[in-house]
Chains A and B, each alone.
Chain A
């Protein structure tokens, strides 16, 4: 854990942490908006499946980074 400088007061830290937590919650909600391709097949799945998986990975990375930031704060 990195020590926080004196300039960041406890209320400021609490506010930042709450903001990050809210962002993380919202970020996790994004998974629900990913298209379900289970009933797709053939070229459509081929063309779009990989892209959706990449999108899923981006959202997961963002959520993980926000969780890490919250821990740091």
Chain B
């Protein structure tokens, strides 16, 4: 079957072409590995001689090993693009958005500011909970050109902002049954805590009386703030790649967790996330493989790619939270997109750090949303209740890991 990836009149890549390239790259990687072994044999002989040959052969080995890794990673990304063409659709939207941003030239330092901006908020010595600062930051992010930042950085030696394959492992003894979420506050409370070594994804499976399976997936926020990826997929690389409309490691890990939990493409999912988890949730909702009647994000800098028709997209943003502002201006409001905004409860502009971004602060706002009689919020809550059918959920927790240099097959599937 041939799927044409299209959008905006600028893209025409057939899936078969991608898969063909993927096969070639896999063969290239295998052959590079074989040549690496050949060189090792020659190196053994040359080592008897103290000559430039040893140095040159060592260099050849390093480049061949790098070529093998690059080819594997690229093959895996191509497979992902072909498998879930929704990603490419998202890329189209993001490209158009970013092309629009190109119209306003901005000093490169400002681009860099975006990349380090999320990291900067970790230095909690400075107060960032000032609505004027947040407004200025939003305007700045609106004029930025992420590809112009991303491509040169990725081209530099080193692994900064380089995506990797990922894998997921279930957290032992995490399976449990629990009542369905009663509203937004429950959704916020069930988002995993962003903490090193802990699960980043919670999956809830609802078996409806008719035999259909429904799923709710919760994604944590950023855990590792380094620009160079380590083993943590919920890192700054995923932040930047995700905002640029690319295939972020955290999103792939969340999709993989869903698959490992038993989800099958086409089964409905309600994605929920905080901060970077909102990027993950938005990517799942727009993936094209997981119908999402409801999408809920808290304090997320999600790119302005609209959720599909039929999705109630609820974005909760504190006016004094700088993180949503990093995604630029809000997406256009539509009948199915709700933007819930308020100043973070109990937070003063002079408070140090970014308390307006904390999940606990959003839980308070979510509690207010549950008490609201606004018909739009009532409709969203009703959608959630209908989705779970009042059934008990089978809960599993998952931990994603980056697999640098590993065979892409370890993260095969849900991308």
Contact = CB atoms under 8 A, between A and B. Distances in A.
Contacts of B91: 42-44, 46-47
Interface in A12-69: 12-13, 15-16, 19-20, 22-23, 26-27, 29-30, 33-35, 37, 39-48, 50-52, 54-55, 58-59, 61-63, 65-66, 68-69
A2 B42 contact: no
B56 A66 contact: yes
A13 B10 CA distance: 56
B49 A8 contact: yes
Contacts of B32: 30, 59
A69 B92 contact: no
B67 A65 contact: no
27 contacts: A8-B45, A8-B48, A12-B45, A19-B45, A20-B42, A20-B57, A23-B39, A35-B78, A42-B10, A42-B12, A44-B11, A44-B13, A44-B88, A48-B77, A50-B151, A50-B155, A55-B28, A59-B63, A62-B60, A65-B60, A66-B57, A68-B53, A69-B42, A69-B52, A69-B57, A72-B53, A72-B56
Interface string B326-342: 00000000000000000
Interface of B is mostly: helix
Contact of A43 (B53, B78, B94): B94
Given A65-B59, A65-B60, 15 more contacts: A2-B49, A5-B50, A8-B45, A16-B46, A26-B38, A27-B35, A30-B28, A33-B28, A34-B28, A40-B13, A40-B17, A44-B81, A55-B28, A58-B63, A68-B52
Interface of B: 5, 8, 10-13, 17-18, 20-21, 24-25, 27-28, 31-32, 34-35, 38-39, 41-42, 45-46, 48-53, 56-57, 59-60, 63-64, 66-67, 70-71, 73-74, 77-78, 81, 88, 91-92, 94-95, 147, 151, 154-155, 245-246
A20 B67 contact: no
Interface residues of A, number: 47
Contact of A22 (B38, B51, B56, B57): B38
Closest 6 CB pairs of A and B: A35-B21, A42-B11, A43-B91, A72-B53, A16-B45, A62-B63
A66 B291 CA distance: 52
A41 B41 CA distance: 42
Contacts of A73: 46, 49, 51, 53
A10 interface: no
B29 to A, nearest CB: 9
A17 to B, nearest CB: 8
Nearest to B73: A51
A55 B23 CA distance: 15
Given A4-B49, A5-B49, A8-B49, A33 B31 contact: yes
Contacts of A35: 20-21, 24-25, 78
Contacts of A46: 91, 95, 147
Contacts of A29: 31
Nearest to B21: A35
A68 B56 contact: yes
Nearest to A35: B21
A58 B70 contact: yes
A7 to B, nearest CB: 5
